[in-house]
Amino acid sequence: MKAKLRGHHLICLNFFRGEGYSEDFIRNIYSVVGKENVEIVAGPDEVCARCPYLKDNKCSNGDYTDEKIQFQDKEALKLLGFKPGMMVDWKMISARLPGIMDEWKAKFCMNCGYLEVCFN
């Protein structure tokens, strides 16, 4: 089975520790990260599908505008060297993280509400 994930989730899900918006949301993330292969998609993905902030196929979270999420996706794909439509696996993703994490953290993690969850 394959997961369908957007750019920033390729990075952020590597730090998932069982916290989220609801039990349903958390169970969904566990099912997504349990899939061996990943198809990279543009826009909302399998994680977004269970997010309470997904409205009309856009992020409506007050802290993370849809434009900001799309920018994060583009930057994540650029740093990882991936493009929408590619098939990758978690080993490929995690192998690239050490080389990009300093830049990713500086651009996106410092102002993220999940900072302490991911790196504490």
Q: Which residue has the higher pLDDT, 86 or 109?
A: 86
The reported pLDDT for the residue numbered 93 is 97
Q: How many other CB atoms are there within 10 angstroms of residue 116's CB atom?
A: 8
In whole angstroms, what is the distance from residue 93 CA to residue 98 CA? 10
**What would the pLDDT profile of 47-89 be if each residue is shown by its tens digit?**
999 988 899 999 888 778 889 999 999 999 999 999 999 999 9
Q: Do residues 116 and 107 lie in contact, with contact meaning Cβ atoms separated by under 8 Å? A: no
Give the pLDDT mean for 108-118: 83
Nearest to 5 by CA among 51, 73, 52, 104: 73
Q: What is the mean pLDDT of the chain?
A: 92
Domain ranges of the chain: 2-119
The DSSP result for 30-49, as a single string, is HHHHTSSEEEE-SS--TTGG
